Amino acid sequence: MRRPVTDPLRAARALASAALLLPLLGAAPAAPSGTAEGGLQRAFATAAAEYRVPQSVLLGVSYLQSRWDTHAGAPSVTGGYGPMHLTDARTALENAPHHSEGTEDPRGDDARTALLPTAGPPAPAELPARLRTLLRAAELTGLSPEELRTDPAANVAGGAALLAAAQRELGKPLSEDPADWYEAVARFAGAGDATTGTAYANDVYDVIRTGQERFTDDGQRVALAPQPAVAPAEERRPRPAAGTECPPTVSCEWIPAPYKEFGDDDYGNHDLGDRPVSQPIEYIVVHDTEGRWEGVLNMVQDPTYVSWQYSLRSTDGHIAQHVKAKDVAWHAGNWYVNAKSIGLEHEGFLASPDAWYTEAMYRSSARLVRYLAKKYDIPLDRQHILGHDTVPGPTTATIRGMHTDPGPYWDWAHYFRLLGSPIEPTAGPNGGLVTIRPEYAVNRPAFTGCVKRGEPCAVHGSSAVRLYSGPGTSYPLIKDIGLRPGGQDSTIDVNDIGSRVSTGQQYAVADRAGDWTAIWYLGQKAWFRNPKAQPTAVHAKGLVVTPKDGRASVPVYGRAYPEASAYPAGVPVQAVSPLPYKLLAGQKYVVGDKVPGQYYYAVTFDPADHRVVTGKDLYYEIQFGHRVAFVRAADVAVAASGS
């Protein structure tokens, strides 16, 4: 079903497919930028000796939870604290259902009245064991909950105490051999089911065997030497539940989203389909939930108006599938993208910079995405692995209401390393393109609005890079006329994507001046700081589009439209609705794919009435601003970026 642009695009897709064959690698060590090995490494050694837990086991568990970061005592998205991610969720519970906020219709189809989901039910009064491990650690160590939350050494001791207690409860000796601790590690995350514990333990032992070394968020070097010979006798493979569409390396259960009719063609919360036979699956959309696990599961099981294919849990990377890949979920706010995508919701909050995601969830998500990308021939790049914040509004009226998750604190560089497709240079200085790639830990742009509108957010590493109208921070920020039709200035609000780019996104170089690089962005020349000593982007090459000769500008669209003659009888023609932006002569934008105009007509409960309309008119998907967009192939010329 996919129509390639040219041989170079086919070659790029082949390279992406080849990347899927690579093993799931741990993140590369960060470049040395902090203090030498110090207190945290000693804390692991001290706790390991005191509680008689092999140091490699303690380090492996901590890496999977936090990558050894301390986060200055701030809690994760599930109320986990410190390097061992000891959970005390009562101190961090929030309940702001992501899909009930804003004006975005998650279905994103103007052929049907826009409908918003009801607010999700509150989280249960009784927290599961996986969200109460800090209090158990306090009982075992005699340390106060406050110490365990704020003192990294105490936190490591608490984790060691939990592992030792689990080993004793299993009736096993406190062995010096890390291979003897598999079952205790499987219990550590507190998932309560064997399959999730197995997947978690396998990841820990993968870390132990391969080793890791990095500088933490407070500048301390921590290292775990590889031990490739460690082979637990109990090591097992996870068993995803019957009926799920998950790789065999993850824990996965089936919690179905209901397909229910309310009468008068009012139904929810997804559409039955026959993908990829009826239409290709082109995209995977990464979301965060803006809610806690239990409340999010309650929401997706509500039959009204919102759904997605998979949810991923932060504490241990457990996956729940809700909608089959063949069916169309309502999650991205753009019906064209919904009809051609799979949606993944990650437990988290975009406006909480220190509400960090666990390594367990990143790895589980990467395994799932690799599996899906290989199955459906989806390239591993930022024009096919979309954030919800890069999905375009389908019409001008919808732009301002589109959601902005997973936001600037999702670590895209780390995620793509785990996908086996690291973001690397693909050209020299004359390649004509740049791929955005700041160093996450040291890239700390200022944001506001995380807690209260206008107030500064906590300083934190970020995947986002800010854009200015000239080569310096004294110039105004780039404006987005879709977000602000009156021409008002962009802001540094955490949800304002009008003047920023994100790691992995590619743009055509428009100019350079000293430490600053300009790219073509939303019809403008947009500048970002890119010093040679610490570059914010790497050189790249590829295909770009520009208006055909004689065209001063061409329209930009939020979806690819079939021509009117492609619609069969009984299916109303969708009005072609350009966005307020223009692609101007002399400007270049990176090509993601060439696709036919397509529309999935599904406005009744009975799938027998559904139709996939596929036109002959072709479109290029391009990286136009922070979000992707589409232009008609007939309007533009395609060329190599360096030409």
Architecture of domain 7-23+94-124+240-545: 3-Layer(aba) Sandwich (3.40)
pLDDT of residue 37: 52
Q: Which two structure tokens, joined as six digits, stand for 208?
A: 């132990």
Q: What is the pLDDT of residues 320-332, one digit of tens each?
A: 999 999 999 999 9
Confidence of residue 93 (pLDDT cuts 50, 70, 90): low
- 133-141 and 152-169 are packed helices; what angle lies between their axes, rounded to 10 degrees? 90
Q: Is the pLDDT of residue 217 over 50?
A: yes
628-632 sheet: strands from edge to edge: 628-632, 611-623, 589-601, 543-547, 636-640
pLDDT tens digits, 501-529: 999 999 999 999 999 999 999 999 999 99
641 Rama class: left (phi>0) / alpha (psi -120 to 50) / beta: alpha
Kindly report the pTM of this predicted structure.
0.90
**By C-alpha distance, which of 383, 373, 318, 377 is closest to 345?**
318
Helices within 377-477 (DSSP H only): 412-418
Average pLDDT score over residue span 207-229: 95
Burial (CB count within 10 angstroms: exposed 0-12, middle 13-18, buried 19+), residue 228: exposed
What is the percent of the chain where pLDDT is above 70? Answer: 90
Tokens 């064997």, located at residue: 194
The answer to whether the CB of 568 falls within 8 A of the CB of 491 is: no
Tell the residue number behind the tokens 């920020």, with chain if given. 477
Query: Does residue 21 have a pLDDT over 90?
Result: no
Q: What is the mean pLDDT of residues 576-582?
A: 97
- Decide: 182 and 201 in contact? Cβ < 8 Å: yes
Q: Please give the CATH number for the structural domain made up of 39-88+132-224.
A: 1.10.530.10
> Within 10 A of 49 (CB to CB), how many other CB atoms are there?
11
Question: By the 8 A CB rule, do 626 and 498 touch?
Answer: yes
Nearest Cα neighbor of 67 from 458, 317, 362 is 362
- Residues 624 and 524: beta-carbon distance below 8 Å: no
263 sits in the region (left: phi over 0; alpha: psi -120 to 50; else beta) called left
Confidence class for position 191, pLDDT limits 50, 70, 90: confident
Calculate mean pLDDT across residues 193-201: 92
Instruction: Kindly state the tokens that stand for 579.
Output: 């966005």
How far CA 523 is from CA of 140, 441, 587, in Å, comes to 60, 31, 7
**Cα 475 → chain centroid:** 31
Q: Which residues are registered as beta bridge partners of 539?
A: 434
- Looking at the DSSP bridge assignments, the partners of residue 500 are 466
Instruction: State the Cα–Cα distance between residues 394 and 401, nearest whole angstrom.
Output: 11
Return the closest-CA partner of residue 140 out of 158, 155, 156.
158
Q: What is the pLDDT of residues 420-434, one digit of tens each?
A: 999 999 999 999 999
Question: Which residue intervals of 52-107 are DSSP H helices?
Answer: 55-66
pLDDT at position 103, please? Answer: 64
Q: Beta-strand (E) ranges in 17-95?
A: 80-81, 86-87
Q: Residue 91: its pLDDT value, please? A: 59
**The length of the chain, given as a count of residues:** 643
Q: What is the DSSP letter of 150?
A: H
HSE at residue 326, side-chain half, CA atoms within 13 A, is 8
| Mean pLDDT value across residues 64-90 | 90
Cα four-point dihedral sign 389, 395, 399, 401: negative
Angle between helices 55-66 and 359-376 (to 10 degrees): 70
Q: Where are the domains of the chain?
A: 7-23+94-124+240-545, 39-88+132-224, 546-640
Signed CA dihedral, 346, 352, 358, 362: sign only: positive
CB 120 within 8 A of CB 100: yes
Can you read off the two tokens belonging to residue 502? 């994100």
Give the pair of three-digit tokens for residue 432: 């004509």
Q: Which of 69-78, 181-190, 279-288, 577-586 has the lowest mean pLDDT?
A: 69-78
- What mean pLDDT value characterizes the chain? 89
C-alpha torsion sign, points 100, 104, 108, 113: positive
> Residues 281-307: pLDDT tens digits?
999 999 998 888 888 898 899 888 899
**Least confident among 28-37, 56-65, 424-433:** 28-37
Q: How far apart are CA 449 and CA 509, in angstroms?
A: 31
